[in-house]
């Protein structure tokens, strides 16, 4: 699977976990030079607290475009150490 935004591949891996229609990439698959800090957080009743990352590609910012569960609830343990995308990031094979 490949995640692209603004014409650039920001993550790529054959090892993704599909949960609720979102592909969760291993953190090691991220091209870190395109990721930047976000202080945004949300709470999921069954996965736990999500923290977000923003994308900065070719001078354009996509705030809170990726999320991860650093300490997921036991039911969501399979996504620990993984990152998913939204906000216009294309995820495709």
Contacts of 34 (CB under 8 A, 6+ apart): 8, 10, 55, 56, 57
0.85 surpassed by pTM: yes
Q: Quote the CA–CA distance of 30 and 71 in Å, as a whole number.
A: 19
Domains of the chain: 2-92 (2.170.150.40)
pLDDT in tens, 3-17: 999 999 999 999 999
pLDDT, the chain, mean: 98
Q: How confident is the model at residue 91 (pLDDT cuts 50, 70, 90)?
A: very high
Contacts of 47 (CB under 8 A, 6+ apart): 19, 69, 72, 73, 75, 76, 79
């Amino acid at each position: 699977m490949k995640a692209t935004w603004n014409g650039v591949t920001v993550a790529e891996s054959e090892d993704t976990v599909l949960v609720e229609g979102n592909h969760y990439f291993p953190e090691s698959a991220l091209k870190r030079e395109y990721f930047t800090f976000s202080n945004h957080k949300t709470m999921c009743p069954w996965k736990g607290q999500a923290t977000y990352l923003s994308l900065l590609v070719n001078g354009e910012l996509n705030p809170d475009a990726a999320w991860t569960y650093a300490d997921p609830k036991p039911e969501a343990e399979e996504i620990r150490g993984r990152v998913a995308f939204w906000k216009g990031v294309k995820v495709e094979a």
